[in-house]
Structure formats: C-alpha cells, structure tokens
Amino acid sequence: MINILIVDDHSIVGEGTKTILSSETDFNVEFHGSSLEIMSLLKVKKHDVYLIDFEMPELNGLELTKEILNVHQDAKIIIFTGYEITCYFNHLVEVGVSAFISKSSSKEQLIRTIRDVINHQSVIPTEILHQLRRTESKLCFENGTKISFSLKEEEIVIKISKGLTNEQIAKELFTSSRTVERHLREIFKKLNVSSRVDVVEKGRKLGLIPEVLI
C-alpha cells in the first residue's frame, strides 16, 4: 500500500484530488488543508508520498518540503501547483523535491507521476526543462529600454522581496555577503533605483517577482 498525503489550502482541490487518487486500489490517501497541521502529524505518522500545493498562506511548498524532509529524509515530495515555479526550481531540487506536476494535468498523469517517484524517478514538466536552458531574462521598461537580468540577480530580487538581509541571502545562496553586495549594486544600477523598497516595487512591475509573492 502506498500512503499519500495531500496538502492544499483549497478544500475543493484537495478533496477532489483525494477522490481521484483513492480510485487506485493500492493508494491510501489523506488530505489536510493546513500546512501547519502537518508539523504535528509528522511526529506521529509517515507517508510515502507528499503531494504539496506550492502557494499556501502558512508554510509554502518550499518551506513545508524542508520540514518534512527534516523528519523523514526518504519521503517523496511532489509539488502540485497552478503557479509559475520556475524561479524556485533550483531551491526545490536542492531541498529534495522529487517531482513537479500542474493542477491542470490529467488523472493519468498524476497517478503516473506518483508511481514514478515511488520507483525513484524524478519527474520534471517540459516547460520547466525549457526554462532551465535560460541563463538570463530580457526585460523591457515602459520607455522601450531593454536590459538583461541574470538568474542570480533574479534570485536576489526575490529574496529581497521576502525581507531577507544581505547576510541571509548569502547564506541561502551559499556565497559571501560581499558577492551579494556586488550583485545588489548591479541590480540597483540596472533598475535605476536607490533602495531595496524600490527594487521590490520595480521588480514586481517587470515580472521579476513571481505572482505567488505579490
């Protein structure tokens, strides 16, 4: 029997997904609508597969994945989302996510993805694979001026939007504060701003910060 836990703050989606998966005779499926509820559950019960929504109000998919794997290192995590997660891909892989699947996927695709991760296979959608070839973003201001942003610069803008300090950003990116400061100076220059607040404001307007963070 494969024990599956669905975590999604949208009850209709979570219950519907549970119904779909429960049609498989070897799937034992549970659903919880709160990511915080899982923290206490982890101490008393282990599941083989965790199907996690990315955008949740308490702990998002990345944060919850870290917590699960801290307790159950061999757990299989599938990010199940309708949001754009490309900017988070490297972080999700680094912490141990096994697969990604869209909420628009078919029943067959979802079931196959779960069986694949149980068999120690990673599943990455084609659209994310295409994005991984990208080394920079091309941005266009309202006046028509175009600039290029490296993926590292994008990551730093996202972390600034979450309120992280240079030291915290450096720790998460496994680099030095001096390197972060250098990137930040370049970001300020490219965006023609003078403060972190302005970086976030302009970053959102230009699409550097995913909608899930807005």
The domain spans of the chain are: 2-132, 139-206
Confidence band (pLDDT; 50, 70, 90) for 52? Answer: very high
CATH T-level assignment (fold) for domain 139-206: Arc Repressor Mutant, subunit A (1.10.10)
Share of the chain above pLDDT 90, in %: 51
Fold match between domain 2-132 and domain 139-206: no
Choice between 147 and 91, residue whose per-residue pLDDT is larger: 147
Asked if the model's pLDDT at residue 131 lies above 60, the reply is no
Asked if the model's pLDDT at residue 5 lies above 90, the reply is yes
Dihedral sign for Cα 55, 42, 98, 153, please: positive
User: Residues 62-82: what's their mean pLDDT?
Assistant: 90
Asked if the model's pLDDT at residue 77 lies above 70, the reply is yes
User: Residues 53-69: what's their mean pLDDT?
Assistant: 88
CATH T-level assignment (fold) for domain 2-132: Rossmann fold (3.40.50)
CA distances from 86 to 70, 82, 178 (A): 24, 12, 26
Contacts (Cβ under 8 Å, ≥6 apart) of 195 = none
**In this predicted structure, what is the pLDDT of residue 214?**
46
**In this predicted structure, what is the pLDDT of residue 13?**
93
Confidence (pTM): 0.64
